[in-house]
Amino acid sequence: MLALFQTIDLALNLYTWVLIASAIFSWLYAFNVINSSNRFVSSIGMFLFNVTEPVLRPLRRILPNLGGIDISPIVVLLLIFFIRSLMWNSIAPLFI
């Protein structure tokens, strides 16, 4: 059971870093810091969009419109941290 918790924790940790990378990439793209016509850059952008958008899109429908500020990645990160904390502090001690 511990191996299952560690695998879930690893997946959540990786998704956290993907969300952070996606947010940074969107800022760099919005401020025209990176070349959007570069094929490698556009493939990285599409990968990050395809991985994060299925989770962020439903939250964007629920959250209020704050103008140009998108807080959905912050909400997802808070949910991930809550799940990880719940998993290790409440559920895992029952199986150890």
Answer whether 25's CB lies under 8 Å from 44's CB. Answer: yes
Q: Is the pLDDT of residue 96 over 80?
A: no
Predicted model pTM: 0.90
pLDDT of residue 92: 86
Give pLDDT tens digits for 41-93: 999 999 999 999 999 999 999 999 888 889 999 999 999 999 999 999 999 88
Adjacent-strand bridge partners of 66: 69
User: Whole-angstrom Cα distance, residue 37 to residue 72?
Assistant: 27
